[in-house]
Amino acid sequence: MHIHILGVCGTFMGGLAVLAKAAGHKVTGCDANVYPPMSTQLEAQGIELIEGFGPEQIALQPDLFVIGNVVSRGNPLMEEILNRGLPYVSGPQWIGEHILQGKWVLAVAGTHGKTTTSSMLAWILEDAGYDPGFLIGGVPMNFGISARLSGSGAQSSFFVIEADEYDTAFFDKRSKFVHYRAKTAILNNLEYDHADIFPDLQAIETQFHHLVRTVPGVGRVVVNAREEALQRVMQRGCWSETEWFGSAEPRDWTLTTFEDGRFDVLFQGEKQGTGDWQLTGEHNRMNALAAIAAARHVGVPPAQAIAALGRFENVKRRMELRGTVNDIAVYDDFAHHPTAIATTVAGLRKKVGAARILAVLEPRSNTMKLGTMKEALPPSLADADLVFGYGATGSGKDALGWDLAAALSPLGAKAQAFNDLPTLVKALTTQARPGDHILVMSNGGFGGVHQKILDALAS
């Protein structure tokens, strides 16, 4: 089958392209911005890329057009597809029907931690010899790639997928994850997000309820017991086995944490092993607990899963150390929701103690650009010593629709806002001193600011 992918350079659709190629399909694709690193990765797979959405691409005559959710009505190629009555399908539906069919799907859902937990779970299965396929919205360092059918080239029976609640396509407003037909589902946490498509938290809870409805009776749902929103989701109905993790009482999966960061894993009050790793933060311990529980469903003993996590190397852009210059460390992190920002800063604080943390933030997600959570930004950054916010002004698609300086004003003199990247870098590097830790947080490329900071520090 020849498929032509609209929006191929997104993380999910790019992963789909890699999987489709590995499964033997002819794959071409187009996007508004075809540039490295995704363009380089796809071209290395022999996938032809076209810049833009010109209607002349109809001449490729693919068997099927696969549509990413970046595509909307008015897109010239999409309009031509509709006018001619040509066959098209969403990315998540295509994945569900052509890659996941017949596999034991392990889906990881939640507002935060999907990428890290999916990576942990895939690594546990890999370490245990299950040779899993996976599609993850980041690059696990243990694998160096974000998607594969399997490691050996043979068709693995197991597939780990990051299960996003964002909508599927302009013609399918269900969450992506309802297409995956998970046999094992992790519900990691649930907060309000995606203000551009969901009016309130209850609307997202309904989508999670739809996910639970797709899990078979022989399946298992692994649920964070600390989340009231998830408790409400489960109260609406569940037809599968359920295991809870993270509660204070010995209910299914619990943790005992030690001062040095190690933690005991207990199942129904019985110790399964002790985790010993380099990752920081309670959120990562909870991610680990969810991954251990899910792996047990496919037959990996908890002690073996715990040992595997001792060899887990984290994910790119999750507290990734990008370099150290003059004893000033620069980190890159994907945090963009206020809860994730607070958790990330707290994790670094625990790691560095009294050393200064200089937080650099670009609020660029659709939710943040709408200003829905701007009041939550100051408390999320309270544990940083200095804060440097960046928000483009004007009417462009990346512009903030609100005043970043005003939003950060409760932080007082320790916070500054910039709409010019070179000015931000100069102000930051002027104030940085040996022993500092610079934490850059954005869910985008942030104009390559990480390297700009390292270069400025070096000069």
Enumerate the CATH 3.40.1190.10 domain ranges in the chain, comma separated: 100-309
SS3 147: strand
Residues of the chain with CATH 3.90.190.20: 320-458
Per-residue pLDDT at 393: 62
Q: What is the mean pLDDT of residues 348-361?
A: 89
pLDDT of the residue at 395: 54
The reported pLDDT for the residue numbered 112 is: 86
Q: Has this prediction a pTM greater than 0.85?
A: no
End-to-end CA distance of the chain: 53
Q: State which CATH number among 3.40.50.2300, 3.40.50.720, 3.30.565.10, 2.60.40.420 fits the domain covering 2-91.
A: 3.40.50.720
> 415 or 3: whose pLDDT is higher?
3
Angle between helices 282-297 and 302-309 in degrees, nearest 10: 140
The H or E element that residue 328 is part of is strand 328-333
DSSP line for 192-254: ---TTT-SSHHHHHHHHHHHHHHS-TTSEEEEETT-HHHHHHHHT---SEEEEES-SSSSSEE
Query: What is the rounded CA–CA span in Å between residue 314 and residue 279?
Result: 8
CATH code, 100-309: 3.40.1190.10
- pLDDT tens digits for range 329-345: 999 887 777 888 888 88
Distance between CA atoms of residues 119 and 193, nearest Å: 22
Write out the residue limits of the CATH 3.40.50.720 domain(s) in the chain.
2-91
Summarize the confidence of residues 242-248 as an average pLDDT.
90
The residue-averaged pLDDT of 407-416 equals 89
CATH of 320-458 given 1.10.10.10, 3.40.50.11540, 3.30.390.10, 3.90.190.20: 3.90.190.20
